[in-house]
């Protein structure tokens, strides 16, 4: 495996996140898989943590593999609920129901 090109990886992540439809979600590991670097779920998180509001990316539509919101990001849950997404009593999303299916 060649060394990862962070410049390209970052752009791929942006382009993928930008495609997530309103009312649907995906998770870090899935984005990593789509970029061709399935072992870099953490790196996807690192990239998204640096996204600014000016970039206008729907990064709130990205949750963890268990359907949980980002710890410490207070408005994450309400941003998703504003798109019609319902949380279970344990504070998790039903991924079966909301997962974004790539065409």
Partner DNA sequence: AGTTTGACTGGAG
Partner DNA sequence: CCTCCAGCCAAAC
Footprint of DNA on this chain (CB under 7 A)? 3-4, 6, 27-30, 39-46, 48-51, 59-60, 62, 64-66, 70-71, 73, 88-92
Which run of H or of E encompasses 27? strand 26-27
Contact yes or no for 25/100 (Cβ under 8 A):
yes
| Residue 89 CB, nearest approach to DNA (Å) | 7
Which run of H or of E encompasses 26? strand 26-27
Q: Tokens standing for 54?
A: 């000016």
Alpha helices in the chain (DSSP H): 6-19, 28-35, 41-49, 76-81, 95-98
Task: Look up 59 and say whether it is catalytic.
Answer: yes
Task: Give the number of other CB atoms < 10 A from CB of residue 9.
Answer: 18
| Residue 81 CB, nearest approach to DNA (Å) | 16
Cβ closest to DNA, residue 66 vs residue 78: 66
| Residue 3 CB, nearest approach to DNA (Å) | 6
Cβ closest to DNA, residue 50 vs residue 96: 50
- Active-site residue identified among 25, 59, 80, 85: 59
Cβ closest to DNA, residue 88 vs residue 103: 88
Q: Cite the active site residues.
A: 59
């Amino acid at each position: 495996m060649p060394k990862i090109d962070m410049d390209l990886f970052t752009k791929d992540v942006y382009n993928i996140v930008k495609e997530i439809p309103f009312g649907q979600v995906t998770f870090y590991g899935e984005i990593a898989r789509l970029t061709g670097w399935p072992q870099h779920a953490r790196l996807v998180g690192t990239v998204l943590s640096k996204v600014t509001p000016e970039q206008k990316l729907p990064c709130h539509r990205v949750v963890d593999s268990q359907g949980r919101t980002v710890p410490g990001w207070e408005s994450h849950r309400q941003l998703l609920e504003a798109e019609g997404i319902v949380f279970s009593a344990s504070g998790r999303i039903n991924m079966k129901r909301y997962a974004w299916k790539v065409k």
